[in-house]
Amino acid sequence: MTDSLFQAIESQIKRAQSNIYTALPAKVISFDGHTVQCKPMVNKVLSNGEEISIPLLVDVPAQFPHAGGFCITVPIKAGDEGLVVFSSRCIDGWFATGNASKPLDNRINDLSDGFFIVGCNSVPNKIPNFYYDGISLQTDDGSTHIRLANGTIYIKGNIEHQGNTEQVGSYSQTEGDATSTGTITAKDVKTNKGIDLNTHTHIGVQSGNSTTGIPK
Chain Cα centroid distance, residue 91: 26
For the segment 87-128, what is each residue's pLDDT rounded down to a tens digit? 999 999 999 999 999 999 999 999 999 999 999 999 999 999
Calculate the dihedral angle through the C-alpha atoms of 195, 196, 200, 203, rounding to the nearest 10 degrees. 10
Tell me what pLDDT residue 11 has.
73
Tell me what pLDDT residue 215 has.
57
Backbone angles phi, psi at 154, to 5 degrees: -105, 130
Which amino acid, residue 89? R
**Long-range pairs of 119-124 with CB within 8 A, sequence gap ≥ 24:** 119/74, 119/81, 119/82, 120/25, 120/81, 120/82, 120/83, 121/81, 122/25, 122/41, 122/81
pLDDT range class, residue 204, cuts 50, 70, 90 = low
Q: 30 near 57, Cβ under 8 Å?
A: no
Show me where the domains of the chain are located: 15-124, 127-158
Provide CATH code, domain 15-124: 2.40.50.230
Tell me what pLDDT residue 1 has.
60
Residue in 4, 96, 112, 104 with CA at minimum distance from that of residue 55: 112
Tell me what pLDDT residue 188 has.
78
Residue ranges of the alpha helices (H) in the chain? 3-17, 92-97
Residue 198 or 33, more confident: 33
The mean-pLDDT minimum among 6-15, 65-74, 199-208 falls in 199-208
d(CA 203, CA 208): 15
Half-sphere exposure of 174 (CA within 13 A, CB side): 0
Residue in 152, 123, 119, 121 with CA at minimum distance from that of residue 135: 152
| Distance set, CA 80 to CA 22, 70, 75, 130, 145 (Å) | 20, 24, 10, 18, 20
Give mean pLDDT, residues 38-66.
94
Give mean pLDDT, residues 36-62.
94
Tell me what pLDDT residue 9 has.
76
Q: What is the pTM of this model?
A: 0.80
